[in-house]
Amino acid sequence: MIAVGAGIMAGAIVRTRQILVILQPQNLQIGWWIQFILMISFLGGYCLALYLVFKELLLWIPVLMGLVFFLGAFFVLFSVNLYYQTLQQLLKTQNEYRQAKEWAEASLTQLNQAKMHSLERTVAGLAHEINNPVTFIHSNLRFVEQYSQALLEGLEIYQTHTSQFPSTIDQQVEDLDIPFIKTDLPRILKSIKVGTERIQSIIITLRNFSRLDEADYKVAQVQEGIDSALLVLNDRLQSENNHPPITVNVQQGHLPAIFCNPRALNQVFLNLIENAIDALRSSSQPSPLIDIRTEVFNSNWVRISISDNGSGISPSIQPRIFDPFFTTKPIGSGSGLGLSLSYQVIVKHHRGNLTCYSQPQAGTTFHIELPIDPNATHCDTALPASNHQA
């Protein structure tokens, strides 16, 4: 039994030495060193007991046992106190880590929101600056049309009532090709009008994206947010670095306006479409495609599905895609907050669902499900559980 006890103590000494290597705080390290020395002393006591038994010096055994019981009680008291201090330190470190993580999450969330707000302000400023000259051009086009039409009609009347022009005027009229101008000028003016109307439409979309002057929550059209996100990301959809352009297929259902935070939803659409673009750029898909579908289901819910035909998400990481700071992108390419923030916006702020379905080499689909009226009585009972699945 003495030999077995000595073996157990030797194992405890080895494990304590490993703890000493791990521990960093000096105050705990000193306590564990004392524990380590006491264990070595006990091992020495076991060895001495074995020696006394082997030499049959049994008279010394009671003395040694009394000493062992005394030191054992002291050892237990010291060990309990040391374990308590170590546990306190571990809990303190764990709490500091949790607070640091929460602070980092909050800081990055604020940074992301600040970047989004800065983008919105930039977009709003550009829309305002572009809108002024375009409005000026568009509003004056009708006068150009009227004046040019009057000039052409006057020229025609003048030609009709004048029998003969000097040869120089006849030659100049022939060089001007008045019949062609009469046919082509209305076409040119119409093209300019269509172009300015298109610019005005883009400006309206950009203003919808910025929404700096609107309340946080209001009744709004989801489709406007999707169109705004696609417009903002239009440049990234074009071919780049030997990658083919990305085709976007939008199938719009007849969606009613819903009670929501349009700015927050715009950010979600921007994050999910941008993730789809990144997935397609990192794949070897020769015909990259993003498919966006909207529909109403269960009478009081709308669903927005954003799919890509990229390489998909590995099953091993799918359960973590909504975790804060989780990213598969290279360092510096992403904060790992896009999907986490999107999940918070949809699930926590809008009482909806955000789910992901993906298979390797078969693409990825994100489903956004939002209640049309989250405050409706019949909606409360039918509200699905807030979970995220992959």
Q: Is the pLDDT of residue 378 over 60?
A: no
How remote is the C-alpha of 175 from its chain's centroid? 63
- Which single residue is written with the structure tokens 């109403």? 296
Q: Does 317 map to a domain? A: yes
| Best-predicted range by mean pLDDT (18-32, 54-68, 184-198, 292-306) | 292-306
Q: Which of 64, 91, 107 is the last residue of a domain?
A: 107
Q: Does 147 map to a domain? A: no
| One domain for residues 243 and 378 | yes
| One domain for residues 272 and 389 | yes
Q: Is the pLDDT of residue 11 over 50?
A: yes
Q: Is the pLDDT of residue 387 over 50?
A: no
Contact 182, 152 (CB under 8 A): yes
Q: Which of 50, 85, 107 is the last residue of a domain?
A: 107
Total domain count, the chain: 2
Q: Does 307 map to a domain? A: yes
Beta bridge partners of 218: 260
Range of the domain at 285: 216-390
Write down the pLDDT at residue 118: 67
- Nearest Cα to Cα of residue 202 among 235, 236, 232: 232
Summarize the confidence of residues 313-328 as an average pLDDT.
76
Q: Does 180 map to a domain? A: no
383: phi then psi, degrees, rounded to nearest 5: -65, 125
Residues contacting 4, CB < 8 A, separation 6+:
none
pLDDT tens track for 92-144: 777 887 887 777 767 766 666 666 666 666 666 677 677 777 777 777 777 88
Q: Does 377 map to a domain? A: yes
Q: Does 33 map to a domain? A: yes
Which has more confidence, 210 or 144? 144
Q: Does 12 map to a domain? A: yes
Percent of the chain with pLDDT over 90: 11
pLDDT tens track for 69-99: 556 656 666 666 666 666 777 777 778 878 8
- Nearest Cα to Cα of residue 302 among 249, 209, 379, 377: 379
- Which pTM was predicted? 0.54
- What is the crossing angle of helices 262-281 and 222-232, to 10°? 40
Summarize the confidence of residues 143-165 as an average pLDDT.
73
Write down the pLDDT at residue 336: 58
| One domain for residues 348 and 230 | yes
Q: Which of 107, 137, 172 is the last residue of a domain?
A: 107
pLDDT tens track for 336-357: 567 888 888 899 888 999 999 9
* Domain CATH for 224: 3.30.565.10
| One domain for residues 91 and 226 | no
Q: Does 6 map to a domain? A: yes
| One domain for residues 102 and 227 | no
